């Protein structure tokens, strides 16, 4: 039987789940939260050439972390968008956090996932490390 992956959960009103790959690679105190972008493709300017180009410009302007939030995309489209955006954030050296969707975060190998208190119950086999 495969063992459960080790995740780190913070105990805040909004829970940030840090995936194992970022936990190993980044010290939480070294992540720069000073300009935290939460995306919403529904608010994208009509003049933007693409979602990814828009985020790239914002990263060039000083964004230090990106949270991908998509409330209306199918899972397949969310994964596709996430993979494209991950290439942008990796190129810029900033973390990508996926909003509400652990499955998408794992599928794209995101740096983390942001879960609200009501977004997902904790399965008993998922260890919590503080």
Q: pLDDT means per 10 residues in the chain (130 residues)? A: 42 50 56 90 84 92 95 94 96 93 91 74 49
Residue 23 maps to a domain: yes
**pTM of this structure:** 0.71
Residue 8 maps to a domain: no
Number of domains making up the chain: 1
pLDDT at 44: 84
pLDDT at 105: 92
Three-class secondary structure of residue 128 per DSSP: strand
pLDDT at 10: 43
| CATH code: domain of residue 105 | 3.20.20.70
Q: Which residues contact residue 95 at a Cβ distance below 8 angstroms, ignoring those fewer than 6 apart?
A: 22, 26, 31, 65, 66, 89, 111, 112
pLDDT at 5: 43
Residue 35 maps to a domain: yes
pLDDT at 18: 53
Domain hosting residue 93, numbered range: 16-114
């Amino acid at each position: 039987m495969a063992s459960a992956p080790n995740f780190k959960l913070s105990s805040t009103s909004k829970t940030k789940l840090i995936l194992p790959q970022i936990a190993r690679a980044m010290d939480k105190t070294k992540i720069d939260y000073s300009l935290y972008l939460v995306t919403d493709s529904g608010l994208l300017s009509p003049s933007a050439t693409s979602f990814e180009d828009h985020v790239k410009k914002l990263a060039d302007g000083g964004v230090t972390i990106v949270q991908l939030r998509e409330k209306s995309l199918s899972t397949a489209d969310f994964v596709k968008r996430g993979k494209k955006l991950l290439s942008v954030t990796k190129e810029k050296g900033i973390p990508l956090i996926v909003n509400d969707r652990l499955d998408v975060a794992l599928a794209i190998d995101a740096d983390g996932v942001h879960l609200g208190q009501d977004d997902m119950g904790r399965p008993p086999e998922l260890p919590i490390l503080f």
